[in-house]
Structure 1
């Protein structure tokens, strides 16, 4: 099975386009990166590349900031969501392994 990231996770969008899509300034976007709320890819030339998932997260961050939520609170929420997602993945893999073992299915 090919493990190519989905189109939403591919880091292909420049900071200028992200700024246009989100309504945030490039400075704000860099600040959110600095606060470890987003993680753009930085190829050799150093130009940041963002994914559609990053754009969605930035819009979510901007909305929360408008509501008065502080960046460290947003980061805590993101970390909690990431941990929960990782736990779901592990449980799913364990269940798949148990089912495969029960029915004698070999994984490749």
Structure 2
């Protein structure tokens, strides 16, 4: 089975200045959302933040929620809930796949 290729939307290649231009947020606002653990840029060896297109979409969702009066801790809580649901779904799918493989004698290729 081939490794799942990373989507261009997941690649962390965009600098904070460019994210600021695209979103209209100040660099300080973007750093604040990182401090609140709402976005997770990668860092280069020199400490430069790098963002993905998915990070930009996440930032825009955060801004919309903030404009609706939702607090950052509530946004984080919702993100954690969604992440937990996704993890539970993945575990269930893996268990079912394992049961089916065992039932039908399918072995993983080496």
Q: What's the TM-score, normalizing by structure 1?
A: 0.93
Uncovered stretches (5+) of structure 1, i.e. residues with no partner? none
Q: Aligned partners of 1:91, 1:11: CA distance in 2, in Å?
A: 30
Give the CA RMSD over aligned residues.
1.2
SS at match of 1:27: helix
Q: Aligned partners of 1:58, 1:49: CA distance in 2, in Å?
A: 14
Q: Aligned partners of 2:108, 2:49: CA distance in 1, in Å?
A: 37
Alignment partner, residue 104 of structure 1: 105
Aligned pairs (5 A) from 1:1-108? 1-108=2-109
Uncovered stretches (5+) of structure 2, i.e. residues with no partner? none
SS at match of 2:43: coil
Say which is worse superposed, 33-42 or 20-29, in terms of deviation.
20-29
Write out the 4+ residue segments of structure 1 that deviate beyond 3 Å after TM superposition.
none
- Would you say how many aligned residue pairs link Structure 1 and Structure 2? 108
